[in-house]
Amino acid sequence: MATIVQRMTTPQPSRLTLSSSADERAVIVVGTIDSHTAESLLDELNRLGTADDAVLDLSQVDFIDSSGLRTIVTAHQQFDAGASQLVLRDPSDAVIRLLEITGLVGHLHLA
Amino acid sequence: MNPPSTRTDPIEYRYPGSTDTINQARVDLVGWLRANGLDALAADAELVVSELTSNAVEASPGEPYTVAASVESDAVRISVSNPSTAELPADSNWAPESVLAPQGRGLFIVKALSESVDIEQTERETIVSAKLPLPRD
């Protein structure tokens, strides 16, 4: 039986950096999209609104789990309902892998 | 790669029950795998532990959760326990209701990456264990 180690001190939380582009309606995502960070991504996409197409640049996502995927799917549905598209640009290997596991590759707008 | 051996000490770590510890749980598990020559399992295990710990925090926010990992004869077992004893949703293959449903992918992903997944509920806690097969040489 292993001794239980308390991991209570100074955990390093997941990091997510979001930036926008002056030239296009885009959110550029750098870092991890998980249950700790997904809400901030959804907030940023909500700020952008669904009035017109937008780009979600996923080329610098180093980790994503189902919490992140939930945010992307929710935003995808909102854009579709608003007759616009959320385009997932240049998804990283981590993103592609999760889309493949969950069978979502053909159901989202990838570029 | 080093052959897995009985020399591999199991780990059991306890974390505060909030989402800001989930990254640490992933880092700790991946570090343990790499230290034991099991790099090939790191990507799958990282995703599995992220899903299980997220579920644990969601089930019992504010309550500590535990991550245990050990090497068995042909697999790595990752177990996450939390002090929730709420009734579990019925097993409907743990699939989302439709491919674009927002919810319901966590355990589906765990199952897709694992040889087997077991859920045990006691009077004190819920323990979800996933067995990831060791890569064959």
> What is the bridge-based pairing of β-strands B65-71 and B11-15?
antiparallel
Contact A102 B11 (CB under 8 A): no
From the list A8, A11, A65, which residue is nearest B50 (CB)? Answer: A65
From the list A11, A35, A104, which residue is nearest B57 (CB)? Answer: A35
The pLDDT value given to residue A8: 63
Residues of chain B with pLDDT > 70, as a percent, come to 89
The DSSP code for B36 is T
Residue B1 pLDDT more than 60? no
| pLDDT 10s digits, A39-96 | 999 999 999 999 999 999 999 999 999 999 999 999 999 999 999 999 999 999 999 9
- SS3 state at B37: coil
Contact B70 A2 (CB under 8 A): yes
Contact A102 B109 (CB under 8 A): yes
Nearest CA in chain A to B103: A70
The pLDDT value given to residue A34: 98
Would you place residue B136 in the very low, low, confident or very high pLDDT band (cuts 50, 70, 90)?
confident
First to last CA, chain A: 49
From the list B12, B14, B23, which residue is nearest A32 (CB)? Answer: B23
Contact A70 B26 (CB under 8 A): no
The DSSP code for B47 is H
**Distance (Å) from the alpha carbon of B25 to chain A's nearest alpha carbon:** 9
The pLDDT value given to residue B113: 96
Q: What is the mean pLDDT of chain B?
A: 89
The pLDDT value given to residue A4: 76
Contact B50 A69 (CB under 8 A): no
| pLDDT 10s digits, B68-116 | 999 998 999 999 999 998 877 665 456 677 778 877 799 999 999 999 9
Contact A11 B24 (CB under 8 A): yes
From the list A4, A13, A107, which residue is nearest B20 (CB)? Answer: A13
Would you place residue B21 in the very low, low, confident or very high pLDDT band (cuts 50, 70, 90)?
very high
**Distance (Å) from the alpha carbon of B137 to chain A's nearest alpha carbon:** 23
Contact A104 B22 (CB under 8 A): no
pTM, to two decimals: 0.92
- Collect all residues with Cβ–Cβ distance below 8 Å to B52 and sequence separation of at least 6: B67, B78, B80, B110, B128, B130
What average pLDDT does the segment B44-67 reach? 96
ipTM of the complex: 0.92
Contact A107 B99 (CB under 8 A): yes
Partner residues linked to A66 by β-bridges: none
Nearest CA in chain A to B18: A36
Kindly state the tokens that stand for A31: 């870092």
In angstroms, the CA A104 to CA B99 distance is 7
Quick count: other Cβ atoms within 10 Å of Cβ A103? 14
- Collect all residues with Cβ–Cβ distance below 8 Å to A47 and sequence separation of at least 6: none
